Amino acid sequence: MPVVIDCTHIYGADYTAAKVVELLVKDFNLRKQPLLFFNLKPSVCNVFEGVDLEFKLYYDYQVLERAIEELNLIGSAQSLASARSVLETAQSA
């Protein structure tokens, strides 16, 4: 399930905030859970890029919705494949 952080009311960030967001992004990546940022101000974006942070950023709501739908479809297909694998393993035991 993708998570969207609405950054509309985030007007500034410093290096410490960027490092915390970097840890957050890494944590979500380890869990294979998409983390998306919406409406991140250019100045904040520059701070995030200063720590070599790779993140998915959207400014258009419709584009964001499409990305979420695509990620949900991918996630559903992966969940279904995983469930099938578990079921097949259980049946063969």
Query: Tens digit of pLDDT for each residue in 11-46?
Result: 999 999 999 999 999 999 999 999 999 999 999 999
Q: What's the predicted TM-score (pTM) here? A: 0.74
Average pLDDT, the chain: 83
Answer for the pair 53, 40: CB distance below 8 angstroms, yes or no: no
Query: Tens digit of pLDDT for each residue in 73-87?
Result: 766 555 445 545 544
Query: Tens digit of pLDDT for each residue in 58-74?
Result: 999 999 999 988 888 76
